[in-house]
Structures are given as structure tokens and as C-alpha cells.
């Protein structure tokens, strides 16, 4: 007999959004998530004598899971997921954790054992659980409701998808933010802001690719990246924009570099093989409008050991296309799905927007949100953006309205 249980998922260590994504994916092996809340950020609940380093905010979501497993069987399965994702079973209570999955309730069922209590013993003390349960329409017993959900306000709000690449240009001449973050200290501050705003990856570029740019040599690119990586290397997972072999080999020494964005398809086979061996992702960009170009490149990369699951197809907005061609490419993004790769759109503040807006490059965030919304509707997985905060606010409200 199937039961629908209320699960609460939380993370306050490592890549918090990705930890929640991974946990949800693993839940599908023994149940179906009927409804999933958006993600909220809350303060860590700690005893007064807790170490200062434990004071890390949590990201939380709730899911109603339909499953054939009994509550005790489900509990064992959830513990396996926690262990798989890296949670140490011997960690102290209240300490930070990569992922925490709790069974909050199972309808009207009551359980009181050494291993499991239902409804959860802490439900009355977890306003955020009650808030999220109401969002997904999971009815809790009246005796457990202590929160005025109309007044409850988390620290922040997020969604799991689309994944957002926060642009961090450490160049003096990028088209909309050139020079703003070329100082490593300012770059580090911006990296933290992008991460806190919800970026899944920081996309760091040390070579401008704006129209009419003057290419700098690999040594200069490395000199720009090096101090930034020292300060930002563990802030969030990193994607590095480069088409130079020397630069790619240098940044791949950093274990937090998870992706190389080769905008000109110039990386040599030895470097591509190293990316494949690392299990990192590689962005494949289309220049011009001929899909056969990107198809040929994907096949070439597969022959060098890259898996399609680690390749990200980018239609290359702004690269070798007119303004109208860029708009046509965005309108037909679903044509990239035939290649079996994830899809990235980098349209933020790009010049094609001037075909329908008079805003200057640095003021095109509303137009960028519109383009991103269209792209996500077409199935894009990643959006590469300057203003993560406003995109996250938009997509969070949209998700909540669509799932109300």
C-alpha cells in the first residue's frame, strides 16, 4: 500500500543547492515526489554553547513522497542517501551537515519508537517545516501547528532550477562590467555575493570576448586569475572561461574548478582528455547558426573521452550572429535537445537586446530576465547571468505561482 509522507530536506555545508538536488534525485529510486516546495534559507538552530563555526544558515525544502516503503524502511533508505552524499554518521548533533533528511509526518499515522517518532518530535518547534508543508498542501494535524504561516518570513528564497552561472569578469574591458572586479579583493566580495544570491557556479573570465576585444596572452590571463582563485577557490564551484591550453591546465589544478567554458573551441586533445579524466564539464559553443558545427564538435569531443553528460551545449548568443539571428536562435533553443547534452544560455546584457530595448548594457537586467524565462521554458538547464539576485527572485516567484 502506498503512503504519502512529508519529508524535510536541509543542507548547510558545501554546495547547498546541489546537495538538495542530489538528494531529491536519489529519492526517486524508491518513491515519487508528488510536490516539492521552493527552497528557503533559515538560521541554524543551535544550543547556546555551540561552536561559532556551526552557525551556518540552512537551505530547506519540503517534499511529499509517495512510496511503498513503510516508515521504518523509508528511514533506512534515507540514511543511505545521507551517507552516499557524504554525511558522516558520527557527526555531533546540531553540527553542520551536507544533507539532513527527516520524515516529518505520514498522514495521521502515529509512531513512537527508539528510531522514529511521527509526527516528528520537533515539528512544533520548526516553523519552517510548517510553512513549507502548507506551501505543498500537506495537511498536518492541528495539534502540531504552532506557526502563523501568513507572518513567517525566512532569510531568503531560492529555486533549484534553472542552475545559475554567476558571471565574474576579472577583466578591465568586458562589455558591461569591465574593471569593476579586476581587483582580487572586489572579485572575492562579488563571488560571495553571487554565491549568496543563489549561483550554482561562479563563471570566471579573465579574457574579454566583447566585440572588438584585443586578445591578451595566456600568461596575462593566468596572472589575472591566480589571485582571484586564491581568494575565491572555495566560495563555490567554479567554471573558467578560457580557450588557452595553458590556462585550462593551470586552473584544473584547483579541485573546485568543475567546468571549462571553451568559447572558441581551441583546446587541444591533451587538455580535453584531462578535463574528461577529471570528470569536469565542458561548454561547447556554437559560432554562427549552423547546428552541424556544434554536432561535429560534440562527436569530436566524445572521441577524446568526453561523455555527453559532461558536455553543455551553448548556442553562442553574440558570437558570429546578427541581432535577429540571436533572437531566432533563442526562439529555437529546443533544437539543441537533439544532441543529448545539457543546454546553457548566455544572453545576459548582450547587444542583441538593443533590437528591442534602448537600455544601456549595464541596465539590461530586466530584458535579460525575460530572455532567461523564455529559454527556461524551452528546456535550458543553465543560464549564465550577471545579476543572479534578480533572476533568482523572478524564478522563485514564478515557481511558487506555477505550483500553488
* Whole-number pLDDT of residue 233: 74
Whether the predicted pLDDT of 213 surpasses 70: no
Last residue of a domain, one of 157, 183, 198: 157
Whether the predicted pLDDT of 217 surpasses 80: yes
Domain match, 143 and 189 both: no
Task: Kindly report whether the peptide bond that precedes residue 124 is cis, defined as omega within 30 degrees of 0.
Answer: no
* Number of domains comprising the chain: 2
Among 102, 197, 203, 241, the one annotated catalytic: 102
Strands 156-158 and 382-385: unpaired
Chain segment 99-150, per-residue pLDDT in tens: 999 999 999 999 999 999 999 999 999 999 999 999 999 999 888 999 999 9
Among 97, 224, 364, 393, the one annotated catalytic: 97
Listed range (87-96, 150-159, 272-281, 300-309) with the worst mean pLDDT: 87-96
Domain match, 139 and 226 both: no
* Whole-number pLDDT of residue 90: 75
Q: Are 71 and 103 in contact (CB under 8 A)?
A: yes
CB within 8 Å of 161: residues ≥ 6 apart: 376, 381
Domain match, 206 and 129 both: no
CATH code for the domain in which residue 147 is found? 3.30.70.560
Domain match, 231 and 205 both: yes
Domain match, 139 and 184 both: no
Task: Kindly report whether the peptide bond that precedes residue 110 is cis, defined as omega within 30 degrees of 0.
Answer: no
Chain segment 28-37, per-residue pLDDT in tens: 999 999 999 9
pLDDT interval class at 236 (50, 70, 90) = very high
Is 87 one of the annotated active-site residues of the chain? yes
Domain match, 236 and 100 both: no
Last residue of a domain, one of 126, 157, 188: 157
Domain match, 93 and 211 both: no
Q: Identify the domain containing residue 346 by its residue range.
A: 161-402
Over residues 363-389, mean pLDDT: 97
Among 22, 100, 127, 197, the one annotated catalytic: 100
Strands 39-42 and 156-158: antiparallel
Is 100 one of the annotated active-site residues of the chain? yes
pLDDT interval class at 177 (50, 70, 90) = low
Q: Are 347 and 375 in contact (CB under 8 A)?
A: yes
Q: Scanning the structure block, which residue is given the C-alpha cell 533572437?
A: 327
Last residue of a domain, one of 157, 172, 199: 157
Over residues 175-198, mean pLDDT: 85
3-state helix/strand/coil string of the chain: CCEEEEEEEEECCCCHHHHHHHHHHHHCCCCEEEEECCEEEECCCCCCCCCHHHCCCEEEEEEEEEECCCHHHHHHHHHHHHHHCCCCCCCCCCCCCCCEEEEEECCCCCEECCCCEECCCCHHHCHHHHHHHHHCCCCCCHHHCCCCCCCCCCCEEECCCCEEEEEEECCCCCCCCCCCCCCHHHHHHHHHHHHHHCCCEEEEECCCCCCCCCCCCHHHHHHHHHHHHHHHCCCCCEEEECCCHHHHHHHCCCCCEEEEEECCCCCCHHHHHHHHHHCCEEEEECCCCCHHHHHHHHHHHHHCCCCHHHEEEECCCCCCCCHHHHHHHHHCHHHHHHHCCEEEECCCCCHHHHHCCCCCHHHCHHHHHHHHHHHHHCCCCEEEECCHHHHHHHHHHHHHHHCC
Domain match, 168 and 150 both: no
Over residues 165-181, mean pLDDT: 77
Whether the predicted pLDDT of 354 surpasses 80: yes
- Rounded to 5 degrees, what are φ and ψ at 238? -115, 145
Q: How many CA atoms lie within 13 A of 358 on its CB side?
A: 0
The rounded distance, in Å, linking the Cα atoms of 103 and 9 is 9
CATH code for the domain in which residue 183 is found? 3.20.20.20
Is 93 one of the annotated active-site residues of the chain? no
Among 87, 195, 224, 393, the one annotated catalytic: 87
Question: How does the average pLDDT of the chain come out, rounded?
Answer: 94
Whether the predicted pLDDT of 155 surpasses 60: yes
Domain match, 311 and 394 both: yes
Is 183 one of the annotated active-site residues of the chain? no
Domain match, 167 and 153 both: no
Amino acid at each position: 500500500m502506498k503512503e504519502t509522507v512529508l519529508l524535510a530536506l536541509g543542507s548547510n555545508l558545501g554546495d547547498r543547492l546541489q546537495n538538495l538536488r542530489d538528494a531529491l534525485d536519489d529519492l526517486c529510486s524508491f518513491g515519487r515526489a508528488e510536490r516539492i516546495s521552493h527552497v528557503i534559507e533559515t538560521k541554524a538552530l543551535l544550543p547556546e554553547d555551540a561552536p561559532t563555526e556551526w552557525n551556518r544558515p540552512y537551505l530547506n525544502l519540503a517534499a511529499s513522497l509517495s512510496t511503498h516503503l513503510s516508515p521504518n524502511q523509508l528511514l533506512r533508505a534515507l540514511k543511505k542517501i545521507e551517507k552516499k552524499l557524504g554525511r558522516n554518521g558520527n557527526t555531533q548533533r546540531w553540527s553542520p551537515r551536507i544533507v539532513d533528511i527527516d520524515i516529518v509526518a505520514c498522514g495521521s499515522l502515529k509512531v513512537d519508537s527508539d528510531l522514529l517518532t511521527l509526527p516528528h518530535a520537533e515539528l512544533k518547534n520548526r516553523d519552517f517545516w510548517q510553512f513549507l508543508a502548507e506551501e505543498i498542501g500537506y495537511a498536518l494535524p492541528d495539534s502540531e501547528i504552532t506557526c502563523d504561516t501568513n507572518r513567517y518570513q525566512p532569510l531568503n528564497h531560492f529555486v533549484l532550477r534553472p542552475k545559475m552561472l554567476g558571471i565574474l569578469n576579472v577583466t578591465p574591458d568586458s562589455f558591461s562590467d569591465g574593471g569593476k572586479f579586476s581587483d582580487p579583493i572586489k572579485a572575492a566580495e562579488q563571488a560571495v555575493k553571487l554565491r549568496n544570491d543563489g549561483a550554482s557556479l561562479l563563471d570566471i573570465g579573465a579574457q574579454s570576448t566583447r566585440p572588438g576585444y584585443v586578445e591578451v596572452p595566456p600568461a596575462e590571463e593566468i596572472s589575472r586569475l591566480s589571485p582571484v582563485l586564491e581568494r575565491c577557490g572555495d566560495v563555490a564551484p567554479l567554471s573558467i572561461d578560457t580557450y588557452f591550453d595553458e590556462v585550462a591546465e593551470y586552473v584544473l589544478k584547483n579541485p573546485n574548478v568543475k567546468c571549462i567554458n571553451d568559447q572558441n573551441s581551441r583546446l587541444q586533445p591533451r587538455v580535453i582528455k584531462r578535463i574528461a579524466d577529471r570528470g569536469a564539464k565542458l561548454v561547447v559553443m556554437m559560432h554562427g547558426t549552423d547546428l552541424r558545427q556544434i554536432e561535429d564538435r560534440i562527436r569530436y569531443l566524445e572521441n577524446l573521452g568526453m561523455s555527453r553528460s559532461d558536455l553543455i551545449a551553448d548556442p553562442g548568443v553574440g558570437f558570429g550572429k546578427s541581432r535577429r539571428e540571436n533572437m531566432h536562435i533563442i526562439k529555437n533553443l529546443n533544437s539543441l535537445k537533439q544532441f543529448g547534452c545539457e543546454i546553457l544560455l548566455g544572453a545576459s546584457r548582450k547587444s542583441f537586446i538593443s533590437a528591442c530595448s534602448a537600455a544601456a548594457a549595464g541596465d539590461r537586467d530586466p530584458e535579460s530576465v525575460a530572455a532567461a524565462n523564455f529559454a527556461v521554458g524551452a528546456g535550458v538547464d543553465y543560464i549564465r547571468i550577471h545579476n543572479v539576485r534578480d533572476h533568482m527572485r523572478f524564478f522563485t516567484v514564478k515557481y511558487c505561482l506555477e505550483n500553488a
